[in-house]
Structure 1
Amino acid sequence: MNQANMTPEKELRCLEKLVGLNMLEKMLCSFSKSTGLKAILVDTRGNTLVSTDHEIKDCSFCRKIRSDSSGMRKCQRSYAQACTEAAKYGEPYIFRCHAGLIMWSAPIVLNEYVFSIICGQVLMWEPEDYFLEEIEEMVKGLNVDVSAVKWAAAQLEVMSSDKVQAASDLLFIVANQIMKSGMIVLEQRRNITAQQARLAEEIQARKRSEIAMRTIESRAFSINSLDKEHELKSLVRNGKKRAAHQVLENLLVDIIEINSEQIDTVKTRVVELVVIISRAAVDGGADLSVILQQNSLFYLELLKISKTEEICLWARGMLETFMNQDINKNQKNIIAIQKAAEYIQRNFRNKLTIEDISQVVYLSPCYVSRIFKQSLGCTLMEYLTHVRIEEAKTMLKDPKYNVMQVAEESGFEDPAYFTRVFKKSEGITPSRFKQYAL
């Protein structure tokens, strides 16, 4: 039966057969508990099929909008469009709903059926007067208290773009797992005893140490964990296996020590580590498609584990698999050169330095300069100048730009310097080039 002709009830029955609603609800609830964000599953018409209302309610702003039937229909249309767009591109789709909130959609495609997990109800900026005025325009025609809606808008959570991107990436991982129909055999457990002993020894050693006040310790713990995660990412990216395993051990001890009785929370934190490690592996030169496929298998394994010591053993195997990817130095250099070139092409209008470019590819300025020169036959600054000159030539052919405007728009701060560089490259001045081009 065509999905467009199915009722929401029939779609739910199909999901039950293809995925299993218990697993689906559990995954959505785990995501909501760990992120504090409401997640729902919708179809291509925007109908809500599965919701985490019993874990997290809609924000006050959304409840007020949806109290009106017309507002509810607009929400449904926003969800339908987000579901379609996410499925079209096969990746997370971050969008602004009809009422102005930031949300994101992760696609789920099961045979001929298309669904999407919707999450969000946040802002990416502090609400200012113009936004509140915009709210008034958006709710025009709805039977709602405009003042109350504005007040609710001012209370909305504000998330940075990095956090929104991280949450959408995590949601995408959850969506990918739902699309997998087979189950993978769990890792053999012959090393569990040794692993458990090592973790127990580390935990006991920490318990014997003198600790500060609980609130201070908690803050210090959070900062320390972030530092360790950054260190782990760097070690994986640079292929330092032994050191990466040690940092992972420390992080696992941290997680278990705080959440020893909350297995779902432990799993969620470990999923975050999977995201960090897999991204670092890709940055280090691993094949993205292979990494995404491996992520899917790992998550299916993790769902079946019920003990913390098994999770720790599983995590070690996961790190080992990622770091055993066949990555050679030349491949890493090619990827770094490509990223550097793409960064220059996107930002040539800005004032760029070799240090700026080297930070993007996680290499030292000297090293990235050397491999760029060896590979392309020109320096980073020569390539930057070439990109700017090509842009200038394009603009000079347009009669609406004069030479000074072209210099500024193509990244040259000094028109006189622009003229010298252009003549050296093209053999004629920009003014003469413009005369010939028009």
Structure 2
Amino acid sequence: MNAVVMAIGIMLVLSLCRVHVVIALIVGALAGGLLGGLGLEDTLQAFNNGLGGGATVALSYALLGAFAVAIAKSGLAHALADKALVLVGKGNGQGSGMLKALLILLVLAVAISSQNILPIHIAFIPLLIPPLLYVFARLRIDRRLIACVITFGLITPYMFLPVGFGNIFLNEILLANVVRSGVDVSGVNVTEAMAIPALGMLCGLVLALLSYRRKRDYDLERIEQVEQVSVSYRPRTLLVAGAAVVTAFGVQLWLDSMIVGALAGFVLFSLSGVVRWREADDLFTEGMKMMAMIGFIMIAAAGFAEVMKATGQVKTLVDTSAAWIGNSRALGALLMLLVGLLVTMGIGSSFSTVPIIAAIFVPLGVELGFSPLAIVSIVGTAGALGDAGSPASDSTLGPTAGLNVDGQHNHIWDTVVPTFLHYNLPLLAFGWVAAMVL
């Protein structure tokens, strides 16, 4: 049995059994390294070498957590929540259904915009979602639905629209690796190649809206313990908060650093007096604690991915699947997509998967007679598969970071499993269809 498959399987089974994801990642990495012939010392060395790969994102999230707490203190997000609560009334008003739809559309629009219009990726989640939890709870919205909505907005734009992060994934990674592997893509429209798989993601979103349409109750007192639902705010504090948000996002776009952007926003809060100097230390610590779990998962996931690469069995997995295919185009497309799913779920990054699989799958696609358009579609879909539903992906860790600040949203069962079922399965089916018809 391939060591990568075993490692990912062990990690997923332990996670589903409610073993903490960090422990599951460490145990999976150790098992994969030993099964891959690295030995205990080399496995630990590879794991330790990989830890630094997740440190930047983890620190970014810790600082964003501190920034989010400062925003909560200013009352900016709560001003929006208060307006929504007025419309909710006692929770049984005639307009609650319309408000629920508007809030879901707002979250979806912001998530999509975070990939292209304002390419801040997951940075918006700790700032927008926690202050809305009380409103979601009053409307009895199932948080699994919000997780699916956010994940759709984080993935579909980059795999379909060649703008922002989509330009990086589609043009700089996908097309570049296909060309590097020997296929001329001069006449290929990458949006056309990924249109059918993107339609699969849309079908998954519609299914999620149906699956989680029923009301779900959450403990309002637990929300109040971590998110102040009654915050006093004045026009000045709201103005400072708005300026801080613009500053944070502007610095991030300018320097391409979530760390410096969040820090700039927090400093502006401190200088303005909205956050008092004597409160700044406690506020900063509180925010970092809020994001600590997500940070440790990201760091452990980077170590896990490094061990998988060090075994050399990712390439073996790809080569073995190529040997099984024979001359069957239908089987070839299916196996290539399944291997992409496995690799991405283990590594946690679509952007890292494409270079790994393209070197083998592109020549194989040519040998099986797939058109350049179909090859681009297969490799792109194989890379995107697994981004939703991976315990180590920021497309699942991000939603959990915002929805679980009060401890009422389980990462595995409320984010990972719902997004896996509603997105990976339709994407697998629609990706296979695309390979057959393009």
Normalised by the shorter chain, which TM-score bucket? Answer: under 0.3
Q: Which has the higher helix share?
A: 2
Larger Rg: 1
More RCO (CA 8 Å, sep 6+)? 2
Q: TM-score, normalised by structure 1?
A: 0.25
Q: TM-score, normalised by structure 2?
A: 0.25
